[in-house]
Every structure is written in structure tokens, then in C-alpha cells.
Amino acid sequence: MDRLIYTAMSGMTDSMTRQRVLASNMANAQTVGFRAEMLYSTPVTLDGPSLQVRAMTEGEVRGADMSAGSITETGRNLDVAITTGDAMLAVQADDGSEAYTRRGDLSISPTGVLENGDGKPVIGAGGPITVPLGSNVTISPDGAVLVGDPATPDQPPTPVDKLKLASTAGSKIAKGLDGLFRVVGGGVLPGDENAKLQPGALEQSNVKPSDVVVQMIQAQRLFDIRTKLVSTARDVDQSGASLMRIS
């Protein structure tokens, strides 16, 4: 009887993990550039002479849905949407390492550092990009950061740096707990000179709330079924004990 309990309990744990992943996706349905997390469930058979029939379920987040989200025009100079399918924007993570994201709602910090909506410095050719405070900053479709002097609006803007648009083709990347992507095993991605941006626009989350709601209902029903299995195992065990007492 314990074989049934092992299987049901591991399944309940997997259902709870799935609900947490779905809840995270739903919470980020409006987050710019968010990539939906994907849960992989794997059956695991315990090894041992008396345990091989106990099949447990192991579930964990091992990837993300990399399909593109819809692009919304905002008209804001510092908003950029990456139109190249596999390219990503390089940013500096909290530990100083290079990481990657599709979030393009950029802004200028009080110290002149160009940051994205998560407050992560955007990386250029020589590290985090800084611009003069009070200047007019625009970004061209090839990622060049252009700075204009408000005192001389007739003068053409001057390029100060270029956003690093990295190519993920041929490289294995993984999503971290901070929502940023990194190269598996360490290292950095090469720049993609052919990558293009759409200035004045943002790529939205690729989460489809209607699909997530359906998946949440399915996960809840599966959890209920597995809960009933534990209850059934208890009833069967009690029935067997009653028969033993009668004998």
C-alpha cells in the first residue's frame, strides 16, 4: 500500500510546484519582455530490491518559452523592442556578471547610467553605458545610443555607445531566479551585428492569461485526484487491518 502513497504524494508535490510556476507566469503577464517559465516533470523509479516499483514524479523549471511577445508602440525615445527573434539585450546583473533579457523599457538613472525596467545597467561596447545628464538620448534601430545637446537642437546627435545585442544561436542559456538569462556553464554570448531594434516600442510578455487559467484548473484537478488516492490508500489499509482482526 505504501507504493500507492509514495506515487500519490510525489504527484501532489509536483502539482504544487506546477501551481507555483503558473502563478509566477500569471503575475508577470504584464511584465515587459517576460518569458514564460516551463516546468518539466520526470518519473523517477527508486532503485533498490524492494523499491523499484515505487515510481515518483520530479518536477522542476528547466527552461522558458522563447516565443516572441506582441510589440506595442509607445512613442517613448528610450523604449526599444528587439525585432530579431533570437537576439537579447545584454545587461549587468547584481553580481557584476553579464546577463541577458528582452526587457527594453530603458531609462537614465540619477548618475547617468542607462538601465532597463529592472534597474539593471545596460551593457555597451565598454561595459555599462553612461550618458550626460540632461541630454536628449535616442536609440537607433541598430542599437546606437545617440546624445543631443538641448542647447543646440539643430545639431545632429552624437553616438556615445552601442547596445550589446547578443545572439543566442548555438548557445545554451538558462533563466535564473532573477529573471535574467545566462550562458549555461559560464561565459558570455557574442554580439549580433545584424540584430535590429524598433525604437519607441516595447515587446510585451509572451504569457497568454487564458492558457494559464486553463493550466491552473487542470493542475488543481490533478492535485485533487492525487489527494483522493491517498485517502483511498488509507481506506484500503483500514479494511485490510479489519480483516486481520476478524481472523
Q: Note the pLDDT tens digit of each residue in 124-165.
A: 988 999 999 999 999 999 999 999 988 888 888 999 999 999
218 and 100, same structural domain? no
Q: Report helix, strand or coil for 47.
A: coil
* Amino acid making up residue 176: G
215 and 104, same structural domain? no
- When divided into structural domains, the chain yields a total of 2
| 54-106 pLDDT per residue, tens | 555 555 556 788 888 999 999 999 999 999 878 999 999 999 999 999 999 99
50 and 159, same structural domain? no
CB distance 89 to 102 below 8 Å? yes
CB-count exposure of residue 118 (10 Å: 0-12, 13-18, 19+) = middle
Mean pLDDT of the chain: 85
Using CA atoms, how far residue 173 sits from 176, 187, 194, 243, in Å, is 10, 10, 20, 58
197 and 92, same structural domain? yes
CB distance 200 to 73 below 8 Å? yes
pLDDT at 221: 87
186 and 75, same structural domain? yes
199 and 140, same structural domain? yes
pLDDT at 63: 72
Please tell me the pTM assigned to this model: 0.78
Taking 90 as the threshold, does the pLDDT of residue 112 lie above it?
Answer: yes
Using CA atoms, how far residue 9 sits from 13, 59, 62, 236, in Å, is 6, 13, 22, 16
Q: Which of the pair, 239 or 167, is modelled with greater confidence?
A: 167
82 and 114, same structural domain? yes
Q: Identify the domain containing residue 84 by its residue range.
A: 71-203
40 and 6, same structural domain? yes
